Amino acid sequence: MKRPLAKYNSFFWSLAFAAVFLLAACSRPLPTLEETLERAESFLALGEFSSAIDLLEAFDEREPGHAVIVETLAEAYAGHGDFASASFNFIRLADMNPDDPLPLLFAASALREGGDHAGAVAIYDRYLRERPDDIATARAVAALHIERGNRSAAIDTLLRTNQAVPSGAIQVAIGRLFLDGRNLGQAQDWFASALRQQDETRPEALLGLLETALAANRPADAETLLRQMDAEFPGAFDRSSLAGQRRELVEWRRRQDEAREAAAALARARQRERETAPTVPAEPLPSPEVEVAVVPSPPPAEPDPAPVPATPRPTPTPAPPPPPGPSASAADRGIAALQRGDAAAAIPLFRDALRDDRENADLWMNLSEAQFLAGDFDWAMASASEAMRRQPNDVRPLMQFLRAAQQTLPPDRLIRELEQAKRRFPQSADITLALARGYARVGNNPRGARIFFNEFLALAPADHPERASAERELASL
């Protein structure tokens, strides 16, 4: 009768041992944050990404909110090739710390690596809203837009960045996009704007202006810019993709010189013909037979033979002063052309003069004036900028630049240029007046206009030619 009891005792002890074992297992402490990270790092070092992910996911589910766990989990997913999950966790990490948008950059990069360009662009845009000053990323995002065939989105991205932090690098990139899209006017404007930044992108800006001139079939402008590049950055043009254009410009110049020399030789030959031709006396005209009526008066005395009447000539009008002779300098001939209103003739003459005297700010000013009168306002701005660079403390080149800028820049950029000019020359009455009128006419800022009109009236002498006009404009605000 004892055998069944022994059987039950054995079963009881088995259950007891199993319960003890389970209790021991359940009482084992869970891994800490440090232990989890250490084990996960070990898995990652061995390339065991799935094991690391399982470990980190379990800890994150048990104790959510640890940024270091989420970051390591994102890296593990990226290593595993699950770029969507990596991006998701990088975004979680950015949401945990809104002051640090850098994880958004990693999230976008992960999606881009995974081939989801549309998703990457959306996150890049979110990142750039937080960090509009990240020029390198803005250029990379613009390139991504171009890859997807969206040039306008690329330009918009760079425009937002330039508005936050104007820079030559961004402006050159904007100019390049406009040039690639054959919008030559905008391309020239942005390359010229980059040139005014006076930073390390100057050679790129000059090259962009040169390429724009070539694309617009303006070889004279291209030649001038090439000489400027050779003077400032020797060898830069020949290392560029445009190097082969040098030969074309040299050939163009040769043809121009030959045509000019041929015209001059023809003019000299005609002058010699006029000087050496014999003077042929005019043959007397036969006197017409005139019937004389008999009148009751004494007969006149026998007259002398009547002279041959001269052919009547129109009364000559006073001639303008003669232009400078062939021995005059190109600069003098350019000034004479300006004085007679021939801006088209003045432009190449001033360019010729600049070949030998590139640092002459007055020549650049004269070239800018001629370009302005010819209606080429973008080039007038660029030439005025060159004058400003050579005479930075002279307000005249800046006023010439602003005069051209009013004809071509959009209102917001014009206002920025006027404000920058005011900061450079705070005591200039003319610049103060230009800013006041800018605020009143295009800036939609009547309060600012009143402030600067009053400041102009305080700065300007009593006989300033614009004083009465400024008083009327101020009264109308």
Domains and CATH numbers, the chain: 33-216 (1.25.40.10), 330-393 (1.25.40.10), 410-477 (1.25.40)
Q: Crossing angle for the helix pair 395-408 and 429-441, nearest 10 degrees?
A: 10
Using DSSP's 3-state secondary structure scheme, residue 310 falls into coil
Residue 378 CB neighbour total at 10 angstroms: 23
CA–CA separation, 188 vs 209, rounded Å?
6
Tell me the helix, strand and coil percentages in the chain, rounded to 5.
70, 0, 30
pLDDT at residue 313, as a whole number: 36
156, 157, 163, 322 from 151: Cα distances, Å: 9, 10, 18, 54
472 phi/psi in degrees, rounded to 5: -65, -45
468, amino acid identity: A
Looking at residue 392, the DSSP 8-state letter turns out to be T
CA distance 140 to 247: 35
First vs last Cα of the chain: how many Å apart? 120
Residue 89 CB contacts under 8 Å (≥ 6 apart), including other chains = 70, 71, 73, 74, 77
**3-state DSSP assignment of residue 312:** coil
* E strand or H helix that includes residue 201: none
| H or E element in which residue 198 lies | none
Q: What is the pLDDT along the chain (477 residues), one digit of tens a residue?
A: 445 545 555 555 555 555 544 444 444 577 787 888 788 888 888 888 888 888 888 888 888 888 888 888 888 888 888 888 888 888 888 888 888 888 888 888 888 888 888 888 888 888 888 888 888 888 888 888 888 888 888 888 888 888 888 888 889 999 999 898 888 888 888 898 888 887 888 899 999 999 998 888 888 888 888 888 888 888 888 888 888 888 888 888 888 887 777 777 777 777 777 777 665 554 444 444 333 333 333 344 343 333 333 333 333 334 444 555 556 788 888 898 888 888 888 888 888 888 888 888 899 999 999 988 888 888 888 888 888 888 888 889 988 898 888 888 888 888 888 888 888 888 888 999 998 998 888 877 888 888 888 888 888 888 888 888 888 888 888
Q: What is the dihedral of CA 332, 334, 336, 342, to 10 degrees?
A: 180
Contact 398, 383 (CB under 8 A): no
- pTM of the full structure: 0.50
Contact 86, 74 (CB under 8 A): yes
